[in-house]
């Protein structure tokens, strides 16, 4: 049934309202990055007509720590995403193809792990990393991020592999392929959208992680969220520099999301078909 003109107008109006609601903080962030300190507190707020300046960008770029923050975030996100996929994709496939009720029900353990508040795992994990002399290293943060990321990947890929036709793998086995070959040459290529969706989730989670990074990093391994925190001091709060750092934190994740959006939506849709 074709929607009427009134229904289309209402849909467009609701979409525009939703876009305005979600994009308003981003717009405030963008304009604040170009404002002097006094104009960031103007009442009523100056959204467009104000004195523009590049001073905040110059101060942030002049800070030698900014590239280091970004590089640390890239290292942590890449490491956590890689290990999560290496562990989670085969585990999800094994659970999906297992005929054991016990193994199939074990997938709910990973869902339960995602329900645990991160702060509940932080203190014991901090003590373990301290005893292993890994505090302040990339390994500590990557390992803890991988715990949560891999749990999501297992749950996501288990649901996705259940949607992949098992008959194709059985045909490959009849033709002489090994179970490993059936996985790598049949199931894995068909599950690329699900893998991309899982990878995007892992990247975003690790990139935006603040709590774990705050407790487990050192001055040399601080990530971009902690760089934003550095805009706050006992003397002042530099909203302009904070806005610039936030823009630098948003851009990489935004670029990745735009390029992988098609796979992300397809992977989430198919992965949610069964649970």
List the chain domain ranges. 21-53, 57-271
Instruction: Look over the chain and give the mean of its residue pLDDT values, rounded to a whole number.
Output: 83
**Cβ atoms 151, 113 nearer than 8 A:** yes
For the stretch 189-199, pLDDT in tens is: 888 888 888 89
- Measured distance CA(73)–CA(81) in Å, rounded: 12
217 in helix, strand or coil? Answer: strand
pLDDT mean over 117-138: 89
pLDDT recorded at residue 180: 85
**Cβ atoms 56, 33 nearer than 8 A:** yes
pLDDT recorded at residue 2: 65
Residue 275: pLDDT band by 50, 70, 90 thresholds?
very low
More confident residue, 86 or 187: 86
**Cβ atoms 107, 173 nearer than 8 A:** no
Integer-rounded Cα radius of gyration of the chain: 23
**Cβ atoms 34, 52 nearer than 8 A:** yes
Please report, for residues 1, 2, 11, 17, 23, the alpha-carbon distance to residue 14 in angstroms, rounded to integers and kept in the order given: 20, 19, 5, 5, 14
Range list of H helices, the chain: 5-33, 55-62, 65-97, 101-105, 107-115, 118-131, 138-161, 166-174, 179-182, 188-190, 192-208, 211-216, 224-229, 239-271
**Whole-structure pTM value:** 0.82
pLDDT recorded at residue 87: 93
In the predicted model, is pLDDT for residue 271 greater than 60? Answer: no
CATH, domain 57-271, list 1.10.287.180, 3.30.360.10, 1.10.10.10, 1.10.3720.10? 1.10.3720.10
In the predicted model, is pLDDT for residue 78 greater than 90? Answer: yes
In the predicted model, is pLDDT for residue 86 greater than 90? Answer: yes
For the stretch 100-118, pLDDT in tens is: 877 777 777 887 888 888 8
For the stretch 136-184, pLDDT in tens is: 999 999 999 999 899 999 988 888 888 878 888 888 888 888 888 888 8
pLDDT mean over 75-85: 94
DSSP characters over 225-237: HHHHHTTB-SS-B
pLDDT mean over 247-254: 82
pLDDT recorded at residue 227: 85
Whether omega before 44 lies within 30 degrees of 0, making that bond cis, reads yes
Please report, for residues 78, 90, 242, 271, 272, the alpha-carbon distance to residue 203 in angstroms, rounded to integers and kept in the order given: 7, 19, 22, 18, 20
Instruction: Compute how many other C-beta atoms are within 10 angstroms of the C-beta atom of residue 242.
Output: 22
DSSP characters over 173-212: HHTT--HHHHIIIIIHHHTHHHHHHHHHHHHHHHHH--HH
* HSE value, Cβ hemisphere, 13 Å, CA-based, for 110: 26
Q: Which residue has the tokens 């002042």?
A: 236
């Amino acid at each position: 049934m074709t929607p009427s003109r009134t229904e289309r107008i209402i849909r467009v109006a609701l979409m525009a309202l939703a876009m305005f609601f979600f994009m308003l903080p981003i717009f405030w962030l963008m304009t604040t990055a170009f404002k002097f300190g006094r104009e960031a507190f103007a009442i009523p707020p100056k959204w467009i007509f104000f004195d523009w300046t590049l001073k905040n960008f110059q101060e942030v770029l002049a800070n030698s720590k900014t590239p280091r923050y970004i590089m640390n975030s890239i290292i942590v996100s890449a490491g956590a995403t890689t290990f999560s996929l290496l562990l989670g994709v085969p585990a999800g496939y094994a659970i999906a193809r297992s005929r054991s009720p016990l193994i199939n029900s074990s997938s709910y353990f990973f869902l339960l792990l995602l329900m645990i508040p991160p702060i509940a795992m932080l203190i014991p994990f901090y003590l373990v990393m301290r005893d292993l002399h890994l505090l302040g290293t990339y390994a500590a943060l990557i390992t803890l991020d991988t715990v949560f990321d891999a749990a999501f990947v297992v749950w996501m890929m288990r649901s996705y592999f259940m949607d992949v036709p098992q008959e194709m793998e059985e045909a490959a086995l009849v033709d002489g392929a090994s179970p490993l070959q059936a996985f790598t040459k049949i199931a894995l290529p068909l599950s690329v959208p699900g893998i991309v969706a899982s990878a995007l989730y892992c990247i975003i989670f690790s990139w935006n992680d603040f709590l774990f990074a705050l407790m487990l990093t050192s001055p040399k391994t601080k990530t971009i969220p902690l760089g934003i925190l550095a805009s706050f001091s006992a003397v002042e709060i530099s909203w302009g520099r904070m806005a610039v750092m936030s823009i630098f934190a948003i851009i990489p994740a935004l670029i990745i999301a735009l390029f992988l959006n098609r796979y992300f939506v397809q992977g989430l849709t198919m992965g949610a078909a069964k649970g």
